[in-house]
Amino acid sequence: MNYASYIALIPLLPLAGFLLLGIFGRRYLKNSSGIIGTGLLLVSAVLSLYTAYNYFFVDGKVGDSYQTITAFKFTWLSFSENISIDMGIILDPISVMMLVVVTFVSLMVHVFSLGYMKGEERFPTYYAFLGLFTFSMLGLVVSSNLFQIYMFWELVGVSSYLLIGYYYDKPAAVTASKKAFIVTRFADLGFLVGILILAFYGETLDFKTLIENLTSQQSSQFLAITTASFVGISALTWGLTLVFIGGAGKSAMFPLHIWLPDAMEGPTPVSALIHAATMVVAGVYLVARLFPLFIITPVSLSIVTVVGVVSAFLAAIIACTQTDIKRVLAYSTMSQIGYMMFALGVSGYNGENGLGYTASMFHLFTHAFFKSLLFLGAGVVIHFIHSNEMKDMGGLRKYLPITNLSFLVACLAIAGIPPFAGFFSKEEILLAAYNSNKIVYGVALFTSGLTAFYMFRLYFSIFWNKQTEVHNHHGEGPFSMKLPLVILAILSVLAGFIPFGEYVSSDKTALQSHFDPMFSIAPVAFGVIGILLAMWMYKKESLKAEKISQSFGGLYKAAYKKFYIDEIYLFITQKIIFNLIGRPAAWIDKNIVDGLMNGVANTTASVSGFIKGIQSGKVQSYAIYFFGGIVALAVVFLYLWK
């Protein structure tokens, strides 16, 4: 099957959209830019589905396992005979799955934005940025080379910066976009160092060859990388941990999560696309891509697990206290990605042991659908009420029937209630955790209860509870805003039934998933308890919530203030880094470096001023110089010239 003929179109069509709308959009294509962007992406999505169909069902499988197909490759920069930066497209189960997810969710967001962003002054620019983002993300998931993924990683960061700061006249949005970019860039420092370590010892940057070199126990590269060590830890562990730090930054894992809640300043469809379904899962994708290497370094893998669990738990607690609906969803995203991370962390390799890997990817797949649905629904609510705060909302089920129903479906999915999609994926994660580490299992179980609680707190606060008076007369929104909600809701119901293990697994052979009803009782029970608690507290207007929060006292306050992590960061950067490093560096630059240059210039100027004085116009001075010159020349020629 010749993939190369059309596979490059999938990322390039959104790029064409970016260039077209970016250059010509403001002047010529103001009204049609939405249609153009959506149309290009529709073609891309259809091509991705076709690729998926071909890969999974027609000829991707050779023998028992799926093959990694390199659709094309060309060498861009060659550093040495082995290490070179190639641009290539690789097709294997996770990359094809991601192609489908990214293009599909992006398409839904494009359609939704037709209605949501209508009337916006910079409408074409918005669609151009969406195209750029989609191109970068698609390039990231099909990268065949470690450096290529880094390049697209940075491009995704830039697109995210542009989109978060879309409303650039709001200072909060500008600050948020800067924060996102700086935090992820800082994490990418670790990523780059990790890449360099791996490339140096592995002697190649290509994923396939790198994994082959470093996993076979007899290869020279494996020997080199495991014997070289720094502070007692082998170079392989260092490399992978640093790469994971880069991934943790992009996926908003603790403690690099501070940018994600602030990133909600961007338009809501952008949050649905970037901060729910696609960009934030890039870190998980990276770990999955390098999974064979992570398996042989248990230290790195346990770091992944710990970070994932802590993020999941912490985010769930904070989400219980937030009042801005988008912030609740942001913390929910952080929590769910934590689930995906620790699922990878507790996974093994080969067959049954690789359950965690499959579960993580499955959860990524289903989460994309119901989380983007939640964000789009929140977008409809915000569009209707013109406010983000829960206290301004209530009883909206009368005005927004379709949103009410789809939001409810998504909340049931995320809470893990059968037969919705989230149940299947979350249950597999919990099973993988149970099989390897009971503590992780316990924390994850408790967190899933919290998840159900805060999601239904959100649902009831918006659509039930008190009755708000609504004065505007526009309805739920145009058809372009309702259609994606319906499609995503249907998928949130059906996606769980896909036998994911058949297609995606750690060693690319089919994984039989067992459905164990006895095991599922515990998670479902926790979920139902969470829902009932939320219903008791929030369905009717009452003071129960306030009384309970007061009884928690200091803990509630700490959670509401997001555990003061932002304040700690601010302290470290302002008091320590700025004062101890920034200010002296600026002083040195201004006084010593600049001073040196200015000194040179001033000296030159004064010397030239002095020399200028020789041209005084006084004839006698000229006579003296003349005479002096003659005498000097006479002395030189008579005595010194040999």
Which residues make up the interface to other proteins (CB under 8 A)? 612, 615-620, 623-624, 627-628, 631, 634-635, 638
Long-range pairs, 512-518, Cβ under 8 A, ≥24: 513/358, 513/428, 516/431
- When the beta carbons of 499 and 628 are compared against other proteins, the nearer one is 628
Write out the H or E segment, with its range, that includes residue 298: helix 298-319
How distant is the alpha carbon of residue 463 from its chain centre?
30
Task: For residue 569, give the nearest of 248, 183, 280 by alpha carbon.
Answer: 183
Antiparallel, parallel or unpaired: β 84-91 and 61-62: unpaired
CB of 630 to other proteins, least distance (A): 8
What are the residues whose beta carbons fall under 8 Å from the beta carbon of 451, sequence distance 6 or more?
316, 332, 335, 336, 414, 415, 416, 527, 530
- When the beta carbons of 578 and 627 are compared against other proteins, the nearer one is 627
CB of 605 to other proteins, least distance (A): 14
Task: For residue 369, give the nearest of 419, 418, 421, 296 by alpha carbon.
Answer: 421
Name the token pair of 348.
Answer: 């093994």
Q: Tell me the residue type at 128.
A: A
Q: Is the dihedral of CA 512, 515, 518, 520 positive or negative?
A: positive
- When the beta carbons of 473 and 618 are compared against other proteins, the nearer one is 618
Name the token pair of 227.
Answer: 């014997």
CB of 609 to other proteins, least distance (A): 10
Half-sphere exposure of 50 (CA within 13 A, CB side): 14
What are the residues whose beta carbons fall under 8 Å from the beta carbon of 526, sequence distance 6 or more?
445, 446, 448, 449, 452
CB of 590 to other proteins, least distance (A): 34
CB of 628 to other proteins, least distance (A): 6
- When the beta carbons of 518 and 611 are compared against other proteins, the nearer one is 611
- When the beta carbons of 119 and 617 are compared against other proteins, the nearer one is 617
Q: Determine whether 338 is exposed, middle or buried from the number of CB atoms within 10 Å of its CB (0-12, 13-18, 19+).
A: buried
- When the beta carbons of 74 and 639 are compared against other proteins, the nearer one is 639
- When the beta carbons of 298 and 628 are compared against other proteins, the nearer one is 628
CB of 601 to other proteins, least distance (A): 20
Radius of gyration in angstroms for the set of CA atoms belonging to the chain, rounded to a whole number: 30
CB of 599 to other proteins, least distance (A): 25
DSSP summary character for residue 426 = H
**Are 297 and 345 a contacting pair, CB within 8 Å?**
no
CB of 600 to other proteins, least distance (A): 23
Name the token pair of 595.
Answer: 């001073």
What are the residues whose beta carbons fall under 8 Å from the beta carbon of 244, sequence distance 6 or more?
194, 283, 286, 287, 300, 303, 304, 307
Whole-number Å distance between alpha carbons of 13 and 24: 16
- When the beta carbons of 233 and 634 are compared against other proteins, the nearer one is 634
CB of 611 to other proteins, least distance (A): 10
SS3 571: helix
- When the beta carbons of 603 and 616 are compared against other proteins, the nearer one is 616
- When the beta carbons of 232 and 613 are compared against other proteins, the nearer one is 613
CB of 18 to other proteins, least distance (A): 59
